[in-house]
Every structure is written in structure tokens, then in C-alpha cells.
Amino acid sequence: MKVKSANFLAALFLGIMALLPLQSVAQDSIPPFPEVDTTKVDTIVIRAQQYKIKIIPRGVNLTVPKLTFTGTKPLIRRKKKFRVPSFWTRENEFTLNLSEVAFVNWNAGGDNSVSALGGLKFERNYKFRYFQWDNSLVIRYGVNAQEGRQLRKTDDAIRLSSTIGYRKDTLNYWFYSVKANFNTQISNGFKYPDRSTPISRFMAPGYLFFGAGTSYIPEGKGFNLYLSPTSLKATFVLDQDLANDGAFGVKKAIRDDAGNIITPGENTFIEFGILINNTWKKEIGKNMVLDHRLNLYTDYLRSFGNVDIDWELNLNLKVNEYIKANIGTQIIYDDDILFNEVKADDGSIVDPGQPRIQFRQLLGVGLAYNF
């Protein structure tokens, strides 16, 4: 009986021990095997390549290789030089106006003719803070050739101007100024058709204006007004024949009753008076520039209030870079220049003549080159 009880207890113990693992598995929520990861990995595994170690034999000397670059140039670092800014402005212009008329079997008639007018203009201007210096040189010369007559001069002028100005501050447009002007011509002038006796030559006349005053020069306006209460005007007549005749206001020669010269005429005539000079350059339209110059002078001693006038007005029309049209006028009045002089047979002057208004008009199309 005891043996059966012992066997029963042993069988019961083994049964209980067999049921314990099944109960723990059923109660645990963790799966017995891990789930498979479905994430794609793009990582590529590259295995390092093993290189064989080279053994340098005994007695071999290693040297540093020499590299040469024959296809390249050495790099040179250039130092940038400091340049002082220039306060000078300049203008160089050459103009040539041409006109031509030709007739072949023309029933209405006419003479073939060719005209040419050349000009040079140079300007050198300096401006820095309180100081300003303006310089200009203008040269003009024109000729006309017509069938059946000799070559004639149509224009002739040399004009040189220089003005130095100083102002107290940069906000002031009034300058203390000193101005010098010089005018003359290049070749002989005649009263056509008479070509035997010249009525003017180089430095006969020549005019020099020199004085001190004040200038009004607004910034960027192309306007310049010069006022001088103390200006010297010197008239030069270096041709003695013209000086003996008293041309252009100089004292003429003293002659005897037979017309022989006792005292030759003077070559210079000095005046002292007031000078007003005005220049204005304005672009009034596209490729249209108006250029104005006015010179007024009156003498204190000889004829105060009698004003000498030199007024020039030009309208420049720019067609393109090299072609330009020009319309210009000039008016001159000087009471020292007399016209219609009457001489007797012995050479004595019966009527010295009268001063008159001189007028010149120009219309031309030609070449213009700035350099």
C-alpha cells in the first residue's frame, strides 16, 4: 500500500512539472522568435584591398624626383600703382565744310564753284576746388574757287583765350579772374576784285585784351560771364604801309605837301577801359548745340560809351559721329575800322570813311572729328 502511494505521488509531481513550462509560455506576450526587419539598407560594404608590401633591396638609394613645368610661366604679382586723378579736361576738334556747284550744258547758266572751310578747336581746362584755368584756341580758314576768277578767301581767324580764376570756397560761383584774349588772321585780305593792295595781314590787325575782374561760372551750366573794369586793349598793325595809312585806329604817318613820309605811322594803339565777355554753350535739343560768344568793350579815355561789339552765334547739328551741320552768324562793330575811304590823286585822304556794322553768315555741312 505504501508502495502504491509513493508511485502515485511521484507521477503527480512529474505531471505538475511538465505543465509549468506550457503555462509560462502562454502567459508571456513576447514572441518566442524575433520578427524579420523589412527596412532596405543601401549601404554597400567595400572591403579594403590589401596590398603586398614591397621590399626595397639592399644598396638602393631613394632620391627626391625633380619636377619641371615647361608649359607654365612664373607668376609675377604686379603692384597696382597709385595714379593721381587728373583735374584737366580737354577737347580737340577738326571740322571741314565743303560745298560744290557744277553745271554741264545748263540752259539757265551758272558758274562752277567749290568752297571749303576748315577749322581747328583746342580746349585745355583745369579745375580743382578753389582754382580754375580755362584755355582755348580756335583757328578758321575758308576759300572759294569759282570758274573764271582767282581763288578768294572767305574766312580767316585766329583766336586765343586764357582765363585764370580763384574763389574763396567751393559753394561760391564768383571767381577773382585774370583774362587774356588775342585775335588776328593768317593771310592777306583784299577788297575784291582788287588784289594788288592788301587791306589786312597777319598781325595787321592783331588785338590783345588783358585785364582783371570777376567771373560768374555756375557749376555744369556751360555759362561764363566775365566783368572787368580794368582792361587793356592793344591794337597791333605791324604792316608799315597800313600803319602809315592809319588803319585800324593807329596814328597815321605825317607827310609833307608832296606826299613824302616825314614821320612813319605808329604800329600800336593802346586803350584802357571796360570789358564784358560772355560765353554760353547749351544743348537745346537732341544733337543740337547752341554756342554763343559776346565781347563788349568801351574805352575810358578816347570815346567812353562808344562800345565795340564782337558777337558770334553758332548752331551745331550733329548728324552722326563724323558728319555735322553748322549755322552761324557773326556781327562786329569797331569805330576804329573805317570803310569807304576816299583818297586824292596825290595820296592824301579826302574822306577817312565811317565805321560800319560787319556781318558774316555761314551755312555748311561737313566732316567733324574729335581726337
CB 142 within 8 A of CB 155: yes
Compute the distance between CA of residue 212 and CA of residue 275 in angstroms, rounded to an integer. Answer: 10
Each residue's pLDDT tens digit, 113-147: 999 999 999 999 999 999 999 999 999 999 999 98
Each residue's pLDDT tens digit, 156-212: 999 999 999 999 998 999 999 999 999 999 999 999 989 999 999 999 999 999 999
User: Can you list the domains of the chain with their CATH numbers?
Assistant: 156-370 (2.40.160)
13: exposed, middle or buried (Cβ count in 10 Å: 0-12, 13-18, 19+): exposed
Give the DSSP H/E element, type plus range, for residue 276. Answer: strand 268-285
Report the chain's mean pLDDT, rounded to a whole number. Answer: 86
75 alpha-carbon distance from chain centroid? 39
Length of the chain: 371
pLDDT > 70: percent of the chain: 78
Cα–Cα distance list, 368 to 160, 188, 305, 324, 355 (Å): 21, 27, 41, 6, 36
Compute the distance between CA of residue 260 and CA of residue 245 in angstroms, rounded to an integer. Answer: 13
pLDDT for the residue numbered 278 = 97
> What's the pTM value of the predicted model, to 2 decimals?
0.74
Compute the distance between CA of residue 240 and CA of residue 111 in angstroms, rounded to an integer. Answer: 38
CB 206 within 8 A of CB 158: no
Nine-digit cell at 283? 544743348
Each residue's pLDDT tens digit, 9-30: 666 666 666 655 555 544 555 5
Name, in order, each residue with C-beta under 8 angstroms of 92's C-beta and a sequence gap of 6 or more: 121, 122, 123, 370, 371
State the amino acid at position 244 in one-letter form. Answer: N
Nine-digit cell at 160? 586765343
Residue 322 has phi, psi (to 5 degrees) of -120, -5
End-to-end CA, the chain: 145
Q: Which residue has the cell 586723378?
A: 85
> What does the pLDDT average to over 44-63?
65
Other beta carbons within 10 Å of 237: 26
State the amino acid at position 305 in one-letter form. Answer: G
Please check the confidence at residue 272 and state whether its pLDDT lies above 70. yes
Compute the distance between CA of residue 178 and CA of residue 182 in angstroms, rounded to an integer. Answer: 14
Name, in order, each residue with C-beta under 8 angstroms of 367's C-beta and a sequence gap of 6 or more: 94, 95, 96, 322, 323, 324
CB 190 within 8 A of CB 143: no
Compute the distance between CA of residue 158 and CA of residue 185 in angstroms, rounded to an integer. Answer: 5
State the amino acid at position 270 in one-letter form. Answer: I
Each residue's pLDDT tens digit, 208-237: 999 999 999 999 899 999 999 999 999 999
Residue 297 vs residue 45, higher pLDDT: 297
pLDDT for the residue numbered 53 = 60
pLDDT for the residue numbered 283 = 95
Please check the confidence at residue 242 and state whether its pLDDT lies above 60. yes
Each residue's pLDDT tens digit, 69-113: 566 666 666 667 777 788 999 999 999 999 899 999 898 888 899
pLDDT band of residue 1 (cuts 50, 70, 90) is low
Q: Which residue has the cell 603692384?
A: 79
Please check the confidence at residue 64 and state whether its pLDDT lies above 70. no
Give the DSSP H/E element, type plus range, for residue 23. Answer: helix 2-27
pLDDT > 90: percent of the chain: 61
